[in-house]
Amino acid sequence: MESRNHKERIAHIFDSYCKRCLKRNTLDLQRKDKKQYEREASFSELSANELASLAVEDEYFRGAYVFDVLGESVGVTDTDLAVALDKLPADRREIVLMSFFFDMTDKEIADKLNMARRTVAYRRTSSLEKLKKFMESE
């Protein structure tokens, strides 16, 4: 009989301990939420200047020259490079852009454009030489 009372007493003590822990955790969370609520402001409460200071605009392609390659847009932000690329014939420019912007091998480019790999390699290297000469002259 005494062991049963002892077990019940231990169970009540443990139950009481758990309830205290839960109550303290609840109070901690309520305090934390209250502090956060005091620091936060609703967007509807902000002035126009405060809202404007939070806004961010992406500038990825602002001022970039855009070339179409394989139905995708390639943005070049360097003006000198973009002008030099624009002076190349379209087929050679496409090969250079596919090589450097899409990291395609000569074989992959040749397959896409239905030409020999060696032709792609020749056009790419000769186009790069033309680009280099043009860029050095400016």
- Give per-residue pLDDT as tens, 117-132: 999 999 999 999 999 9
d(CA 100, CA 69): 12
Indicate if the pLDDT at residue 61 is higher than 70: no
d(CA 93, CA 124): 8
Q: Tell me which amino acid residue 115 is.
A: M
What residues form DSSP beta bridges with 76?
65
Quick: pLDDT tens for 6-25: 889 999 999 999 999 999 99
Neighbours of 87 (CB within 10 A): 11
